[in-house]
A and B are shown apart, each in its own frame.
Chain A
Amino acid sequence: MAHPVLDLTGRRNRGEAAFGGLARFAGILVLIVLSLIALVMTTRAWPALTSGNFFTTKRWSVPDEVFGSLAFVFGTIVSATVAICLAVPISIGIALFVTQVSPGWLKKPIVYSVDLLATVPSVVFGFWGISVLAPKIMGFYESVHDLTSGIPGLRSLFGQPNGRSMFTAGIILAIMITPIVSSLSREVISTCPQGDREGALALGATRWEMIRAVVIPHSSGGLVGAVMLGLGRAMGETIAATLVIGSSAQITANLFGAGNSMPAVIASEWGEALGQHRSALTALAVTLFALTIIVNVLATSIVSRSRRRAQGTI
């Protein structure tokens, strides 16, 4: 018997066609679902989006049906930024320690316990936040408030403290995004070519000089991407933020003041919302959706650009 002819065109191969079709369907399905979600949400949000004040006022009044998103957009960005400022140095520190400094036997326990943080449900962090962190941290806030009360810029940044505040939410969010940011940073850093690092050491660089001159420049793009993904997660986090952020629709420079974030408002007000209120909450969801997409797209493009650059230098 002759060997079966291998059909390289794949046209007459049923298995090939079926698999191709399935893969194509799955790929397109994601796009369809995503655009349907966007379409339905935007339609539902339309009355609020076109009310004229959704993007222009910070006032959120259910009795008067005035729904402005500014205070919540502000609270979302501020709490996420606090989270990034706290989480990034620690996460990159963990990543550098694990990849460059730590002895081999210590690596696994550290990596494992940091990654374990990612498996803790967010509501647990939220409850820990309101029952332990928020009451206990008041003393720290008060001393910072007293210390900075004479310094013009910092005075408004660290104003009258509140246990449930944007800063507390930032701390909780920081703990929640540390595993992701540190895992990604670790991966990015470990792609740094061994030859480059050894070359730097051979030239007489100390470990810190090697990290600064070789590791950081090589992985800076990837690190930015990791931070952006952490930012995306911090902005979308709902339950933990709902519990500790203080639920107040205000725009204030005071990081120790109560605020509110978009996902928190949606979660806490949806059940009792009707009509225009419901539409305004959907509009918040659309805004959050757009904001996370922007952050993720930026992150992906930065990462891929840095990857191209890294490949070019090798």
Chain B
Amino acid sequence: MLLGGHLTSISSLLERTNPTGVILRSYRRYLSMTTALILGVSTVGCGGGDSTDSNSAATTVGGAATTAAKTAELAAATLNGSGATFPKAFYEEAVAAFKAKNKAVTINYGGGGSGKGRTDLASQVVDWAGSDAIVKEADKTSYKGGAFLYFPTVVAPINVVFNAPGVDKLNLSPTLIAKIFQVEITKWNDPAILAENAGAKLPDSPIVVAHRSDGSGTTENFTKFLDSAVGSKGDGTWKLKSGSTVEWASSTQAAEGNGGLSKFVKDTVGSISYVDFSDAKVAGLKAASIKNQAGKYIAPSLEGASAAADGAEIAADLTYFAGWAKGDAAYPIAAQTWILVYKSQTDKAKGKAIKGFLEYMYGDGQKLAKEIDFAPLSPSLLAKAQAQLAMIEIPA
């Protein structure tokens, strides 16, 4: 729209200054060139997407086929979803595997962020939404389809990643993390850091704190962990509260997305940041062990995240916060995510497809999660989630 707007204004200016319109014509040519370029790129993009989808479908067909015999295939339905980007990789794999079993069902997941997913579900633009955070009580009235249900799907650790020369292992308590990310501790060899890392050789160099430049569920869960452990619910060391973006100090650095932030840490000596488990693993970044509620330093792992989900307090509507959970083995910075669907489904085929997809999620889907670096739900939470499936009302 902006490009178009500028071209219009340029054209109008040129029509006045240059009646022959020579430049105008050449600009039109560039416009069509640009359009062709954009179209070309997007076609290539779509092609790429399709091929990965079919690849993943092909690889998971074997696993799905064993259970295919148990249930009859679902009737034709198209389910559109949008929301959290954090579980997007997992949902795409799960959809492909589910589709191999139920060929008539088409499921789309557009991503776009938890906020977008919730807004889309509220206005019934989509049939299901992914969200990393729960809906505020005040916003519930805006949901046109009435009451909705939370279905937890997977858990994943958030790694505190760092790039300090000569440092391979780092122990951090929530208090230290809070002070580092609020730029109260500014050097790697600060006595407070040394106190938790006896014997470690920490460099005498400044700490570069990096955070997400975009609004993100990862930032929300990371700050929620700090707020629960040492913030408003703790001793008040963490003052920035929690949100999809917070008021970071102006001396901190920012990068876009988990991928952008991983690259920044990799490229910047002395930096520290937080990125999701799978991106940290792909980028090969070193991660700190975090002190949990039981006082133990735990390295990020899928098992640690599942243990956190097990130790979390789970409300009746299955909302919970996986971070700062109880338990010796719990990794304290874990992120949870839900699929939100309306309780009363209005379309029979769609309702059955949604229920079928969630049933798959709680069956083979949980095994699939581990393969792509997401932690499955703990057995207790899984049982509660499966029991909640019966609450979905499908018209006869």
Q: Which chain A residues have a beta carbon within 8 Å of chain B's beta carbons?
A: 59-64, 115, 118-119, 121, 130, 135, 160, 162, 164, 180, 183-184, 186-188, 190-191, 222, 225-226, 229, 232-233, 236-238, 242-243, 246-250, 252, 257-258, 267-275, 277-278, 296, 299-300, 303-304, 307
Contacts and interface: CB of A to CB of B under 8 A. Distances in A.
Interface in B111-131: 112-116, 118-119
Contact of A272 (B12, B14, B23, B216): B216
23 contacts: A59-B247, A61-B243, A61-B246, A62-B243, A62-B244, A119-B37, A180-B6, A184-B14, A229-B6, A242-B256, A250-B250, A252-B250, A258-B254, A268-B213, A272-B113, A272-B214, A273-B244, A274-B136, A275-B136, A278-B115, A296-B9, A300-B9, A303-B16
A162 B9 CA distance: 35
A252 B92 CA distance: 44
Given A119-B37, A229-B13, A270 B215 contact: yes
Contact of B213 (A61, A63, A247): A247
Contacts of A271: 85, 112-116, 214-215
Where chain A touches its partner, the secondary structure class is helix
Nearest to A269: B215
B82 to A, nearest CB: 10
Interface stretch (B26-34, B45-53, B67-75, B357-365): B26-34
B10 A60 contact: no
The 6 closest A-B pairs by CB, nearest first: A271-B113, A272-B215, A247-B213, A63-B241, A62-B243, A272-B244
Nearest to A62: B243
Given A61-B246, A248-B254, A242 B213 contact: yes
Contacts of A250: 250
Contacts of B116: 270-272
B244 A229 contact: no
B121 to A, nearest CB: 12
Contacts of A246: 213, 253-254
Given A119-B37, A164-B253, A272-B244, A222 B17 contact: yes
Given A62-B244, A222-B17, A269-B244, A119 B6 contact: no
Which among A63, A115, A118 has the highest number of chain B CB atoms within 10 Å?
A: A63
Contacts of B157: none
B153 to A, nearest CB: 18
A226 B18 CA distance: 13
B17 A307 contact: yes
